[in-house]
């Protein structure tokens, strides 16, 4: 009986080992304050079932400038942030829906296609300064408004989420 249990435990360990080590390889654990938590149907994690990011980790994914107007500001704005495409690559998401929450309890559903194809960017900086809660930060999902933007205004207004904290991949 005891022998039997031992064999079972051993085989279970061998089975789980490759999976656990694969996760640990790609995403490191956050060292600073967590700004973004991604949960749900993701490939790469750094904690059981979730991926957490601090500012350093996000910046490591590659900051890109984005100059655009928005419907909630006056004049052209200089944003800097991680392209949605890069973020989705980091957690291994290719399609589906994102259930996004904000600090002010705002919720919205966003298709992954917005991030992959419609250039939605997770902005960290505005006008060279880090976004804070008071300035719709620390993370703001910004859609560039230009001639190439195919999304409708009403789609953009409901999906441009500021004070973003969690993304749940459905």
* Interacting positions 101-130 with other proteins (CB under 8 A): 103-104
Shortest Å distance, C-beta 1 to other proteins: 47
Nearer to other proteins, 20 or 129 (CB): 129
Shortest Å distance, C-beta 74 to other proteins: 5
Cβ atoms of residues 65 and 78 within 8 Å:
yes
Cβ atoms of residues 37 and 165 within 8 Å:
yes
Does position 162 bind other proteins by CB under 8 A? yes
Residue 97: strand pairing partners: 111
Stretch binding other proteins (CB under 8 A), from 23-31, 36-44, 89-97, 155-163 = 155-163
Contact residue for other proteins among 17, 22, 62, 71 (CB under 8 A)? 71
Residue 81: strand pairing partners: 64, 123
Does position 133 bind other proteins by CB under 8 A? yes
Contact residue for other proteins among 37, 41, 135, 149 (CB under 8 A)? 135
Does position 152 bind other proteins by CB under 8 A? no
* Interacting positions 11-70 with other proteins (CB under 8 A): 70
Cβ atoms of residues 46 and 23 within 8 Å:
yes
Count the Cβ atoms, other than its own, within 10 Å of residue 10: 10
Q: Is 165 helix (H, G, I), strand (E, B) or coil?
A: strand
What does residue 69 show for φ and ψ, rounded to 5 degrees? -85, 160
What does residue 96 show for φ and ψ, rounded to 5 degrees? 120, -160
> Which spans of this chain sit near other proteins (rule: CB under 8 A)?
70-74, 103-104, 132-136, 153-154, 157, 162-163
């Amino acid at each position: 009986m005891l022998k039997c249990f031992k064999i079972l435990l051993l085989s279970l360990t061998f089975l789980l080992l490759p999976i656990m080590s694969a996760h640990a390889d790609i995403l490191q654990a956050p060292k600073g304050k967590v700004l973004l938590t991604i949960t749900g149907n993701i490939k790469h994690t750094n904690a059981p079932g979730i991926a957490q990011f601090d500012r350093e980790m996000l910046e490591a994914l590659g900051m890109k400038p984005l100059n655009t107007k928005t419907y909630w500001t006056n004049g052209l704005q200089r944003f800097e942030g991680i392209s949605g495409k890069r973020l989705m690559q980091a957690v291994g998401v290719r399609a589906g829906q994102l259930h996004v929450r904000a600090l002010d309890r705002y919720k919205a559903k966003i298709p992954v296609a917005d991030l992959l194809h419609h250039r939605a960017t997770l902005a960290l900086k505005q006008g060279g300064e880090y976004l804070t809660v008071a300035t719709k930060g620390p993370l703001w999902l910004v859609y560039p408004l230009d001639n190439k933007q195919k999304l409708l205004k009403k789609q953009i207004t409901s999906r441009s989420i500021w004070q973003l904290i969690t993304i749940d991949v459905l």
